């Protein structure tokens, strides 16, 4: 974890994070295949320190097939085939701001600009989606979201799906801040990307990238360069 996060988060949360890292390393030592690699589990926090956070994109858990997960929500390493949700994200990116659809699914450039790409659960067993949902990661990641909601600068929470929206609202409610923002829609998964669900706009057509930059501009914060060259 980036030292900035350690310095501002509760010691009990940091201890729980260390416990979870140790527990998953022990599973690996016993032969269980876990993604992402140990060195990348905290990649989101390493790449985007709290002082740089402008926006948060909340995912569920890491991709569970070989070579996909890299510790950044929705991101895959360069050269890896784009998962369906990421393909839809790039389609919406193109429709929203007019940029070319990237060939690479590596979203590190977003993270370096201040987009915290945080999964709710930070590890997963190979080929078993959401297999670590009861391991305890939510204690850590909800604390991270609460920290984001309480930062000096306003933060845009980009929430795709009801679970992500619920987490962001819980974090904002506890912070007591009123100058954070939520942009919410359905999930970019092919099962829901084109469907409106009660109060949630369908992901396709929701324009999260231009909307977040509009909010950042209104608050005197440098916008995100969402497009990137190959």
Q: How many helices (H) and strands (E) does the chain have?
A: 8, 6
Question: Helix (H, G, I), strand (E, B), or coil: what is residue 216?
Answer: helix
Alpha-carbon span 194 to 188, nearest angstrom? 8
**Burial code of 52-63, b = ≥16 C-beta within 10 A, e = fewer?**
bbbbbbbbbbbb
Tokens of 213: 């930059």
Identified catalytic residue from 10, 25, 40, 61: 61
Q: Does residue 82 contact residue 105 with C-beta atoms inside 8 Å? A: yes
Alpha-carbon span 218 to 80, nearest angstrom? 36
Alpha-carbon span 34 to 28, nearest angstrom? 7
Q: Does residue 25 contact residue 39 with C-beta atoms inside 8 Å? A: no
Question: Helix (H, G, I), strand (E, B), or coil: what is residue 197?
Answer: strand
Cα-based angle 175, 150, 43 (whole degrees, multiple of 5): 120
Whether 40 is catalytic is no
DSSP H helical ranges for 64-184: 84-97, 108-113, 137-149, 162-175
Catalytic residue IDs: 61
């Amino acid at each position: 974890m980036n030292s900035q996060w350690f310095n501002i988060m509760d010691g009990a949360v940091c201890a729980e994070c260390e416990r979870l890292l140790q527990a998953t390393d022990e599973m690996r030592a016993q032969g269980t295949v876990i993604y992402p690699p140990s060195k990348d589990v905290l990649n989101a926090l390493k790449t985007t320190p709290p002082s740089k956070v402008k926006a948060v994109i909340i995912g569920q858990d890491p991709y569970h097939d070989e070579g996909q997960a890299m510790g950044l929500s929705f991101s895959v390493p360069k050269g890896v085939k784009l998962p369906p949700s990421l393909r839809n994200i790039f389609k919406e990116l193109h429709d929203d701001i007019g940029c070319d659809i990237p060939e690479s699914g590596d979203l590190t450039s977003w993270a370096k600009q201040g987009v915290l790409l945080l999964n709710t659960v930070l590890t997963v067993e190979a080929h078993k989606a959401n297999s670590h949902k009861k391991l305890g990661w939510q204690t850590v990641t909800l604390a991270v979201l609460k920290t984001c909601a309480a930062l000096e600068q306003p933060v845009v929470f980009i929430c795709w799906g009801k679970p992500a929206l619920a987490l962001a609202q819980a974090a904002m409610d506890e912070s007591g801040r009123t100058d954070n923002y939520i942009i919410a829609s359905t999930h970019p998964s092919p099962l829901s990307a084109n469907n409106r669900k009660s109060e949630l706009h369908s992901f396709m057509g929701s324009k999260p990238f231009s909307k977040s930059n509009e909010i950042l501009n209104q608050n005197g914060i440098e916008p995100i360069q969402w497009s990137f060259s190959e």
